[in-house]
Structure 1
């Protein structure tokens, strides 16, 4: 099922064709107030991709993401949702995507989703070191897939991004000093889902935020909800629907 936007996609640059890289983004939701809020970060003005834009924390999948031990496996329904659409991926890639979202959120915001597991956590190194230092293993069991989007052809960077959400109550550890003037994200803000869009909000971020607002208005997040898939076809942004897990 699909629907295509009526106006052509705006192009601000043109680069040789690049195959999209798998990427993952984490949308943290704070439900402590009457209106849910989501966490956004402002990217540094000098980064190549989306400079100065407000985005959800996220980035590319790394080879180590599928090898890290976890506190709990990803839900079967989440895995089923990640396996839908084209190009096809394997279960191991689905796991990597979910864990990449958790790793990138910790790297860019200092907020880590995990559970205590002292013995196994001690083996974590590299990008996962903050979890090990806190005696945590990453925990993808609370993630939901809320959208997927592929950067249009001709962009300076191309990503096939899966947008995950998780409740802020799943944050088990905070690393101080991650966000600063010289970091990839220079500012973090919590924004109400029904607030007026920020001036520096990227169009895809705005579209995903609108989808999430509708999901939250319908009740608690569920794995059987349809997942919007944004991609460009013939110079226009197309919104396909990936049916949620039964």
Structure 2
């Protein structure tokens, strides 16, 4: 039911999932990806976008490799994404989030306003442009003064959120120098209106690959990314079209254990 949460009883940790791991196990497993130490008590909102290409017999996901010089997840393959910019919530949209997805996005998130929820989703769209050169939206007369969205203005693409689906949510455990409350959103490659041949303007990702999910899980990826890929694989088996309102795994530290719950 929308907005409700239930425990995923009986689930144990495996190489594909973080659910059930202790704090010590997580610290050891993620030592390469996260700098351990006294970090922020409150995680920052972030979003990432899982783009799915279903033109072949097996769905493929877009992943990019982070530069080795990065202190955060160096050399790891990840989805495009990053921190939420509050200004993203004020950008005009061609279509907003589906009500069921907006409800899932706000579940267990305190007093998350509609504007903040929209900003979280929009940050995934913006980061996908910045890191991969892919503009998601619809043709239209789009105008904004925000410098971060001028590529959409120049291309005549109005951003839209109605096709986005929340696949998972994860809060970085305490004891990291950086902590994020990340929403993993997904949509299909069909929703990409423009693919810039030169890629995105940032240098966050040095290599972009479209990979079958099983193959992506064999690459050098963060543990949470492998966990979310497994969740995505399971959901696509039951719901290949990603209908609105599907169950969303939520990973967070509860006491001394990293729990997997369902929103």
Cα 1:164/1:133, change in 2 over 3 Å: same
Q: Could you tell me how far 1:6 is from its partner in structure 2?
A: 4.7
Q: Distance in 2 between matches of 1:86 and 1:99?
A: 17
Q: Could you tell me how far 1:216 is from its partner in structure 2?
A: 0.6
2:75 maps to which of 52, 60, 63? 52
Secondary structure of the residue that 2:245 maps to in structure 1? coil
Tell me the equivalent position of 2:194: 173
Cα 1:44/1:240, change in 2 over 3 Å: same
Q: Does the CA contact (< 8 Å) of 1:227 and 1:241 recur in 2?
A: yes
Comparing 106-115 and 9-18, the one that deviates more: 9-18
Q: Could you tell me how far 1:197 is from its partner in structure 2?
A: 2.0
Q: Could you tell me how far 1:83 is from its partner in structure 2?
A: 1.1
Q: Could you tell me how far 1:124 is from its partner in structure 2?
A: 4.7
The answer to whether 1:101 aligns with 2:116 is: no
Gaps of 5+ in 1: none
Secondary structure of the residue that 2:138 maps to in structure 1? strand
Alpha-carbon RMSD across the aligned residues, in angstroms, is 1.8
Tell me the equivalent position of 1:195: 215
1:5 maps to which of 20, 44, 54? 20
The answer to whether 1:113 aligns with 2:136 is: yes
Trace 1:73-222 onto structure 2 (pairs within 5 A).
73-118=96-141, 121-178=142-199, 183-195=203-215, 197-219=217-239, 220-222=241-243
**CA deviation map 1:138-177 (0-9, x unaligned):** 1111100010001111222111000100010000012232
Gaps of 5+ in 2: 1-5, 9-18
**CA deviation map 1:67-111 (0-9, x unaligned):** 111111211111111111143411111111111110111111000
The number of residue pairs the alignment matches comes to: 239
Q: Distance in 1 between matches of 2:121 and 2:215?
A: 28
**CA deviation map 1:210-236 (0-9, x unaligned):** 000011111221223210001123443
Q: Distance in 2 between matches of 1:48 and 1:110?
A: 23
Tell me the equivalent position of 1:28: 51
Q: Distance in 2 between matches of 1:168 and 1:127?
A: 22
Cα 1:179/1:106, change in 2 over 3 Å: closer
The answer to whether 1:61 aligns with 2:84 is: yes
**CA deviation map 1:1-33 (0-9, x unaligned):** 335515531342422131200001100000001
TM-score (norm 2): 0.85
Tell me the equivalent position of 1:43: 66
TM-score (norm 1): 0.91
